[in-house]
Amino acid sequence: MRALRIILVLVVILGGLFVIADRVAVHFAQGEVADRLKARENLEQTPDVDIKGFPFLTQVAGGSLDEVELGIGSYPAPTGTQGGTIRIDDLKADLKDVTFSGDYSSATAASGTGSGTIAYDQLLKAVKTEPAELAPGATAQITGLGNGGDGKVKVSVKLDIPALGLHPTVPVLSSVDVKGGKLSVHADALPAIAGANLADGTLRKITDFQQALDKLPGGIELDQVRATPDGLRITVKGTGLKLAG
């Protein structure tokens, strides 16, 4: 009995040491992944990295991780115009089957899904806000974007029609979608001024717009979007996503 008791005590101690070593190793690995991702994506802040699954060391020995969760508080997504960016807040990604090279210089996720939020003031950067001509002597310009309720975006359009003595700012409710990998905002209906609908083709060149977001972390892509009180809530997904290397 004494020998058995000693063996059990040793097993408990060794098991505890293994758990401690495993948690130390995963903490170190999370820091390494975070630093590499920060460098790869030129982030100002270090992202949060959470490697799931236990034990971690046996996953490392097998050359792959079951699941890794990433969190980037503020991601400056390039717009492709003169170095401009649109900030995506609270960008999160859940990555599956992450494999890495022997020297840990590269890591690739087999698949991933995630979400984030684009505030309306950030979305406004995708809009041409200078006055545009509707007709000779008449102009229109977008002055703001906001929540329109029921999943719609409210586009505020300032009209300037001196010949009619009209200078109103009118709300245009618009639907938002992902088309061809781009955020797409499309007016449901255009306002009537002085009893007549404004020329669809001309005004729509102002109210309707798209914005590409094709340089997201690891190559993940836009999937869906919906309007919320806080901004556009986007979901993303992808395969063969690069974390490092």
| Structure confidence by residue, pLDDT tens digits, 140-167 | 889 999 999 999 999 998 988 887 787 8
Position 219 in a domain: no
pLDDT tens profile 90-137: 999 998 988 877 665 677 889 999 999 999 999 988 887 788 887 788
Alpha helix segments (H runs only) across the chain: 2-41, 56-62, 120-123, 200-207
Are residue 127 and residue 170 in the same domain, yes or no?
A: yes
pLDDT value at 19 more than 90: no
Task: Quote the pLDDT of residue 104.
Answer: 59
CA atoms of 196 and 190, how far apart (whole Å): 10
* 28 vs 122: which has the higher pLDDT: 122
pLDDT value at 185 more than 90: yes
How far CA 181 is from CA of 21, 86, 118, 208, in Å, comes to 44, 16, 16, 16
pLDDT value at 168 more than 90: no
- pTM for the whole thing? 0.84
Domain extent for 147: 123-212
pLDDT value at 234 more than 80: yes
Are residue 98 and residue 145 in the same domain, yes or no?
A: no
pLDDT value at 9 more than 80: no
Are residue 17 and residue 105 in the same domain, yes or no?
A: yes
pLDDT value at 211 more than 80: yes
* 28 vs 187: which has the higher pLDDT: 187
Are residue 18 and residue 92 in the same domain, yes or no?
A: yes
Task: Quote the pLDDT of residue 127.
Answer: 83
- Report residue 197 as tokens: 């609908």
Position 130 in a domain: yes
CA atoms of 126 and 206, how far apart (whole Å): 12
Helix (H) or strand (E) holding 91: strand 85-100
Are residue 71 and residue 138 in the same domain, yes or no?
A: no
- Report residue 245 as tokens: 């290397």
- Report residue 145 as tokens: 């974007």
Are residue 103 and residue 153 in the same domain, yes or no?
A: no
Instruction: Identify the band that residue 3 occupies on the pLDDT scale cut at 50, 70 and 90.
Output: very low
CA atoms of 239 and 68, how far apart (whole Å): 14
Are residue 11 and residue 102 in the same domain, yes or no?
A: yes
Task: Quote the pLDDT of residue 59.
Answer: 75
- Report residue 231 as tokens: 């901004």
For residues 59 and 53, the answer to whether their CB atoms sit within 8 Å is yes
Sign of the torsion formed by the C-alpha atoms of 140, 145, 146 and 151: positive
- Return mean pLDDT, the chain: 80
**How many other C-beta atoms lie within 10 A of the C-beta of residue 52?**
15
Position 221 in a domain: no
Position 77 in a domain: yes
Are residue 99 and residue 172 in the same domain, yes or no?
A: no
Are residue 14 and residue 108 in the same domain, yes or no?
A: yes
Are residue 21 and residue 76 in the same domain, yes or no?
A: yes
For residues 55 and 80, the answer to whether their CB atoms sit within 8 Å is no
Residue type, 33: V
**How many other C-beta atoms lie within 10 A of the C-beta of residue 130?**
9
Instruction: Identify the band that residue 32 occupies on the pLDDT scale cut at 50, 70 and 90.
Output: confident
Position 117 in a domain: no
Number of separate domains in the chain:
2
